[in-house]
Amino acid sequence: MALRRDLSWLDDDYDVVVIGGGITGVQVARECAGHGVRVLLIEKDDFGQGTSSATTKYIHGGIRYLENYEFGVVRESLRERRLLTLAAPHLLSQRRFVMPAWRWSKPPTALIGAGVGLYSALGYDHNRGLPRSMRSRLPRWWSPARVAREVPWLDRSDLQGAFVYTDTLNVHPERLLLSLVKSAVADGARAMNHVEAVEFVTEPLPNRGGNAIAVTGVAVVDRVGGGHYTVRARTVVNAAGPWMDLVLEQLTRRPGGTSLGVSVRRSKGVHVLCRPLSRGSTMNTVFARAKSGKHVVISPWQDSLFIGPTDTPIDQSPDDVRALEEDVTDLLDTVNSTLNAETAPLTVDDVRDVTVGVRPLIVESGKDSYTTSRRHELYNHGPSGVHNLFSLGGGKWTTARALGEEAARTVLSSAALRGVSTRPFNSRRAGVIDGFGWAVDPQPFLDEAVDGHTNSVLDAATRRHVATLYGTEYPMLLQLAASDPTLGRPVSNDRRCADILAQAVYAVTDEAALELSDIVDRRLTIGTLGEVSRDELQRVADAVAGLLGWSADETDRRVDAEHARRRARRALWRTNG
Ligand SMILES: Cc1cc2nc3c(=O)[nH]c(=O)nc-3n(C[C@H](O)[C@H](O)[C@H](O)COP(=O)(O)OP(=O)(O)OC[C@H]3O[C@@H](n4cnc5c(N)ncnc54)[C@H](O)[C@@H]3O)c2cc1C
């Protein structure tokens, strides 16, 4: 399914315009398109560039939310975990979670056990309909000796054992989000990255009394070409995540405008990507609560450990949020406090990369960002005098489908869409467009990618890599490499990166990538694996320059700018070199 970007689309009329191409906006667009209405999704930067690409990478129930008695959120999340696994199993993987219990643990071991038991009970249907390779076992208890074998770096003093359960790794959230964008487009949505909503277009509604207005469209800017456009829309859905209140500011500031009663609690979440803690790394994810009381998830990912998150309330705009040295040392201190004496502590020199995202939490009085609910909220601004406008707040990657379903139900039954014909759509039973089929085991297809195609110029590991990332579209990558063997070359000499140049070309021709960072950070995997060198950026840029109309000078300028941007970000958390 090719993603195109056509500026003439901005001259058309839509039933629904969705602002924000994170997982929330994408799921809303998919749901609306599935129901057959005319929908345009606009994203000011690139699809998934915001919080949705800065997660802990789990599709999970959120076991720790049980401490806050959030049984509803946990049950909904566990249901959604199963539904997403049925829809896109090639991009998900089951992971064993090890939750250590020390004598000093808080909550105490018996309570952790009760929590794990309840978690498993709330996920009672976890294997229903799942393909064989995605089924998981019931929770169990490991003795200290077993923990020592399985997690050799963990502090064994006062260790009573560990609870073991399963959650689902979102192996490449950026690619899964893109796959959902493609699915929306396959159902008729139009999706445009690098288009920013700058103003609502409104008209007065004198017969509604007071200062009532109706939103009739959105003024947008094409951030690539700079053009200004006015998109007409019967309804607008503000799915700007942590930018949600900033998008609404224009309306709350209008003369006589009342507050829309919506605010977002922003919380910064940082992860670090580090070297493994022990040789012969296992695939166990450790979810530990350190003596300091801080939680940390230590997750094996692509030959590294992905560790986080932090949770720090912030006041800045999400555009200005950066990972700082104190965020990194905070995380490293927490992990190091869970290590045994034989394991070398992690230092900033061991950090390969850092990610930062902003949680868009619902404001709840009396709660901090850690205890604030991860539930989602749908706001209809009609009762505040702004008609045809809806905003979505809170939520999780895991539950975004449910939020999209609820939002579409509300928007499609709103007065503004009266008379618009719709068709039935059930996203609970819809696979992603590039998946191998709903509820179908991807394993035989991935095996076929490796065992068949032996005449391909790509080796077996690369074939598996592209089949996992691109699902049914992987033969296109094989064809590209066959048509021009230079495209079969690796993007990097680092053995942890399996990307090839054909992926960069495909990103531009079929996946709407326009900037270097769109390609390396969200179409390929290289940008998520650590520092990207100038040479690697150059290789990618040279492969796509002709397609994007970049001259040699322009290509070098872009490579320099992207390299400088990445170095500047790195310098904020790696101040000593
Ligand atoms: C550190 C961290 C770890 C997390 N881990 C997990 C996890 O493991 N599992 C899980 O389920 N959830 C997790 N979450 C929560 C989850 O990531 C978020 O709930 C989810 O990604 C929010 O998606 P969103 O689409 O609402 O926001 P975003 O992904 O931020 O998308 C909003 C988009 O709106 C765009 N936008 C803003 N203004 C405009 C405008 N004017 N015009 C056009 N576009 C605009 C932005 O560019 C952005 O792309 C985590 C969150 C954080 C911060």
* Angle at which helices 71-87 and 400-412 cross, to 10°: 90
Residue-wise pLDDT for 487-496, tens only, equals 999 999 999 9
What's the CA-to-centroid distance between 473 and ligand 1, angstroms?
A: 26
Decide: 28 in ligand 1 pocket, CB within 6 A. no
Please compute the mean of the pLDDT values over residues 342-367 and round it to a whole number: 88
How many other C-beta atoms can be found within 10 angstroms of the C-beta atom of residue 454?
A: 9
For 274, the enclosing helix (H) or strand (E) is strand 264-274
* 3-state DSSP assignment of residue 96: strand
Give the model's confidence band at 263: pLDDT under 50 very low, under 70 low, under 90 confident, else very high. confident
Write down the number of H helices and E strands in the chain: 15, 19
Please compute the mean of the pLDDT values over residues 264-271 and round it to a whole number: 93
Residue-wise pLDDT for 443-473, tens only, equals 999 999 999 998 899 999 999 999 999 999 9
* 3-state DSSP assignment of residue 264: strand
Ligand 1, atom nearest to 318 Cα: 30
256: pLDDT strictly greater than 80: no
Decide: 321 in ligand 1 pocket, CB within 6 A. no
In 3D space, the residue among 518, 562, 561 whose CA is nearest the CA of residue 49 turns out to be: 518
% of residues, the chain, pLDDT over 70? 96
How many other C-beta atoms can be found within 10 angstroms of the C-beta atom of residue 252?
A: 15
Spatial distance between the Cα atoms of 290 and 333, rounded to a whole number of angstroms: 10
What's the CA-to-centroid distance between 399 and ligand 1, angstroms?
A: 12
Decide: 43 in ligand 1 pocket, CB within 6 A. yes
Greater confidence, 320 or 371?
A: 320
Residue 515's contacts (CB-CB under 8 Å, 6 or more residues apart) are: 46, 194, 558, 562
What's the CA-to-centroid distance between 513 and ligand 1, angstroms?
A: 19
What's the CA-to-centroid distance between 49 and ligand 1, angstroms?
A: 8
Contact between 169 and 397 (Cβ < 8 Å): no
Residue-wise pLDDT for 503-562, tens only, equals 999 999 999 999 999 999 999 999 999 999 999 999 999 999 999 999 999 999 999 999
Q: Residues in the chain, how many?
A: 577
What pTM, to 2 d.p., does this model score?
Answer: 0.96
User: Which residue's entry shows tokens 């915001």?
Assistant: 50
Spatial distance between the Cα atoms of 302 and 36, rounded to a whole number of angstroms: 39
Spatial distance between the Cα atoms of 230 and 246, rounded to a whole number of angstroms: 19
What's the CA-to-centroid distance between 357 and ligand 1, angstroms?
A: 7
Best probe residue, ligand 1, of 194, 397, 515 (max atoms within 8 Å of C-beta):
397
Residue-wise pLDDT for 559-575, tens only, equals 999 999 999 999 999 98
Check the CA dihedral 409-410-414-417 and report its sign: negative
Give the per-residue pLDDT at 7.
Answer: 97
Give the per-residue pLDDT at 373.
Answer: 60
Residue 166's contacts (CB-CB under 8 Å, 6 or more residues apart) are: 94, 95, 96, 97, 126, 136, 137, 139
Decide: 58 in ligand 1 pocket, CB within 6 A. yes
Please compute the mean of the pLDDT values over residues 397-405 and round it to a whole number: 97
Spatial distance between the Cα atoms of 149 and 195, rounded to a whole number of angstroms: 51
- First-to-last C-alpha distance (Å) of the chain: 43
* 3-state DSSP assignment of residue 68: helix
